[in-house]
């Protein structure tokens, strides 16, 4: 090919551009000065050169040995000249110039991102959580409990005898369902400082379960439903759901901490992070299944949970009528409001 192309030449030593002409003969590229320029002509082999990709917008810059480079003056003329050289383009470059290719790449990227978030991240979180020592759960749980006591909870007003009865009944449930051993747990009673928090049960990392006075009073005399709620929270404890959610929210940080054994920063920030999280639907289903397991172990019908969810819905309706936003405080560990799916699950469990 004998056609020449006019370009700007930078010698790698000065920022001043010089006009030059490119010429290709066989496998050799020759750069010659335009009239009035002073640099000497030189040639380089074509094979090692990395040609710039064709783009819809932007210039073209070809890097030469020893820091030198040439820049296209006329981008269209450059692309036509390179095409005459017979240099083929990759399918990626061709796709970039086609809106259908860009749309397909965007759709594939969104699909891959969705799949990673939906399935990949939870899978990674399970693996990282398994590598985190359980003592870290306890340390985080203590930090979260301290934070809750300072801002959201007050000491319980329930009679000590009532608290002890619930503790003993729940201990019997856990022992009956897990005779070969269960994760460590501790039942704490608190009263909500803010009425919007209302009837609630919280499972903290490390095994602490908090039960509010408002939940106990929601169904006076019906301790079986309260035990069912505690069974649900125990499911979160046994399966380390809070830690898994925390790992998912801080995946990179926890992976680094697991590798180097330094969890200090993450433990300190855990209360803030966990306060903004919520359990996934799969985690709630797993916790509901654990609740059924514990209730069956001591002969309690899962149907009591249907009554509990109905009572929760009545409380929520009352909050809305009073102009209260019952979702204003988004605790990660809160038992989710009743849904048709969960009511159907406990009804079916009772029927079976």
What DSSP string describes 236-255? HHHTTHHHHHHHHHTHHHHH
pLDDT (0 to 100) of residue 27: 87
What is the predicted pLDDT for the residue at 104? 77
pLDDT number for residue 332 = 38
Which among 129, 122, 333 is positioned nearest to 232, based on CA atoms?
A: 333
**Domains within the chain, CATH numbers bracketed:** 4-88 (2.30.29), 118-351 (no CATH)
SS (H, E, C) 34-64: CCCCCCCCEEEECCCCCCCCCCCCCCCEEEC
d(C-alpha 170, C-alpha 173), whole Å? 5
Residue 232: its pLDDT value, please? 95
Q: pTM (2 decimals)?
A: 0.63
Query: Given this model, what pLDDT does residue 144 score?
Result: 86
Burial of 179 (0-12, 13-18, 19+ CB in 10 A): exposed
Q: Give the SS3 label for residue 162.
A: helix
pLDDT of the chain, 352 residues: tens digit per residue: 457 889 999 998 888 899 999 998 888 989 999 998 989 999 999 888 888 877 777 788 889 988 899 998 988 888 888 888 876 666 666 666 666 767 777 888 787 766 665 666 667 677 777 777 888 888 888 888 888 898 888 999 999 999 999 999 999 999 999 999 999 999 999 998 877 677 889 899 899 999 999 999 988 777 899 999 999 999 999 999 888 888 777 665 555 555 545 555 555 555 545 554 567 788 889 999 999 999 999 999 999 999 888 888 888 888 788 776 555 433 333 445 457 888 899 999 999 8
pLDDT given at position 251:
60
pLDDT of residue 329: 39
Give the chain's largest Cα–Cα span: 103
What is residue 154's predicted lDDT score, i.e. its pLDDT? 93
């Amino acid at each position: 090919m004998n056609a020449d192309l006019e370009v700007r030449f930078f010698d790698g030593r000065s920022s001043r551009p010089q006009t030059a002409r490119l010429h290709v003969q066989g496998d050799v590229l020759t750069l010659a000065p335009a009239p009035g320029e002073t640099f000497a002509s030189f040639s380089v082999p074509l094979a090692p050169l990395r040609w710039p990709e064709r783009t819809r917008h932007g210039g073209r810059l070809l890097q030469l040995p020893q820091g030198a480079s040439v820049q296209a003056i006329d981008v269209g003329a450059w692309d036509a000249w390179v095409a005459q050289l017979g240099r083929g383009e990759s399918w990626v470059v061709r796709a970039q110039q086609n809106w259908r290719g860009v749309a397909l790449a965007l759709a594939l990227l969104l699909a891959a991102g969705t799949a990673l978030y939906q399935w990949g991240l939870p899978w990674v979180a399970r693996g990282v959580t398994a590598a985190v020592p359980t003592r870290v759960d306890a340390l985080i749980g203590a930090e979260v409990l301290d934070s809750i006591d300072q801002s959201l909870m007050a000491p319980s007003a329930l009679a000590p005898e009532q608290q002890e009865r619930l503790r003993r009944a729940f201990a019997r449930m856990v022992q009956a369902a897990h005779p070969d051993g269960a994760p460590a747990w501790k039942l704490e009673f608190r009263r909500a400082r803010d009425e919007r928090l209302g009837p609630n049960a919280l499972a903290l990392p490390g095994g602490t379960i908090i039960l509010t006075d408002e939940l106990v009073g929601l169904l006076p005399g019906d301790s079986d439903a309260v035990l069912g709620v505690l069974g649900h929270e125990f499911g979160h404890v046994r399966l380390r759901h809070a830690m898994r959610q925390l790992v998912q929210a801080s995946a990179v940080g926890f992976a680094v901490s697991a590798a180097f054994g330094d969890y200090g920063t993450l433990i300190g920030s855990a209360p803030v992070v966990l306060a903004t999280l919520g359990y996934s639907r799969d985690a709630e289903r797993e916790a509901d299944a654990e609740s059924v397991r514990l209730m069956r172990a001591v002969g309690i019908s899962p149907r009591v949970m249907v009554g509990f969810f109905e009572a929760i819905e009545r409380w929520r309706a009352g909050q809305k009528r009073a102009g209260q936003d019952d979702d204003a405080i988004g605790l990660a560990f809160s038992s989710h409001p009743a849904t048709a799916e969960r009511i159907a699950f406990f009804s079916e469990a009772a029927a079976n």
